[in-house]
Amino acid sequence: MKHKVVQKVENLGQLTVQYLERLGFAMRLFWDSFYWLIVGRKYKQRVRFAQIVKHIKMDGVDALPIVLALALVVGMMLAIQLIYALQAFGAQSQVLLAIAKSVTREFSPLITGIIVAGRSGAAIAARIGSQVVSQEIDALKVMGVVPVRYLVLPPLLALMISMPMLIIGADIVAIFGGALFSVGKLDMSITAYMVESFNVLVVGDIIQGLIKSVVFGVIIVLVGATTGFYVTGGAEGVGRATTTAVVVSISFIVLADMIASYFLTQ
């Protein structure tokens, strides 16, 4: 009996240590990435511009259609719910303000973060994981190429650049989606609705979304890369890592979103 309890506690302890170790590993990846970004040229560990551009296309531009499509739907959905709720107070004219603020501060970063986690986070975990399995990472190391510089830094920079771009697009389209549904009730033209929306927004609203998106981008790459580097057990392990990467990065995104909202909305 006693043995089983001890065993359970021991397992829990080991698990905690493992997760802390991975957290440390992820932090280290972040630090190393910027270290090599700065000193890379000096030690012939250059970061290739073309590689970053390739990742911006893959992780940013290629995600644009799906991000915009979902942003449109979310905008419409918000309009439906908010008009219904605000009607009770006879305040449906406030729907414009509510949509504009909630979209820029909350919904477009969150939606974009989740989509990009599903696309790029999974892809990064799968790519690095399969390279671990096939010894490609070892091959890089013995050649004298720093894996972080070659495999983590390019997608990291690419997402830090392309996430804010995606957010701007998502903001505009989501507000447009809200407009499509609201203009009838508000008796406004779509153009007037859009102009008015951008008038009620302050710089802080936009900035809050952009800051969040950069944080989400960093989370997606670090979680994807960390799970990738920790892959064991062949092709099956790669599959597991891909799922883990998506679930963990979405969880961290939601958590970070809450924390960021708290501190940025004072």
Q: How many residues does the chain have?
A: 266
Determine which residue in the list 93, 134, 199, 251 makes contact with other proteins, applying CB under 8 A.
Answer: 134
Amino acid identity of residue 235, one-letter, is A
Nearest CB to other proteins, comparing residues 5 and 142: 142
45-64 residues in contact with other proteins (CB under 8 A) are: 45
Rounded to whole angstroms, the Cα distance separating 195 from 62 reads 28
Could you say whether residue 143 binds other proteins (CB under 8 A)?
yes
Could you say whether residue 4 binds other proteins (CB under 8 A)?
no
Rounded to whole angstroms, the Cα distance separating 54 from 50 reads 6
Element (H, E) at 87: helix 64-87
In whole angstroms, the minimum distance from the beta carbon of 134 to other proteins comes to 6
Rounded to an integer, what is the distance from CA 38 to the centroid of its chain?
Answer: 24
Could you say whether residue 81 binds other proteins (CB under 8 A)?
no
Neighbours of 241 (CB within 10 A): 27
Determine which residue in the list 145, 165, 206, 247 makes contact with other proteins, applying CB under 8 A.
Answer: 145
In whole angstroms, the minimum distance from the beta carbon of 238 to other proteins comes to 12
Can you read off the two tokens belonging to residue 227?
A: 């799970």
Q: Following CA atoms 253, 257, 258, 259 in sequence, which dihedral angle do they give, to the nearest 10 degrees?
A: 100
Nearest CB to other proteins, comparing residues 23 and 39: 39
Binding mask 16-45 for other proteins (x = CB under 8 A): ---------------------------xxx
- Label each residue of 75-135 as H, E or C: HHHHHHHHHHHHHCCCCHHHHHHHHHHHHHHHHHHHHHHHHHHHHHHHHHHHHHHHHHHCC
Tell me the site size for other proteins, rule CB under 8 A. 16
Contact region for other proteins (CB under 8 A) — 133-141, 187-195, 212-220, 228-236? 133-141
In whole angstroms, the minimum distance from the beta carbon of 105 to other proteins comes to 39
Instruction: Give the binding site for other proteins (CB under 8 A).
Output: 43-45, 130-131, 134-136, 138-139, 141-146
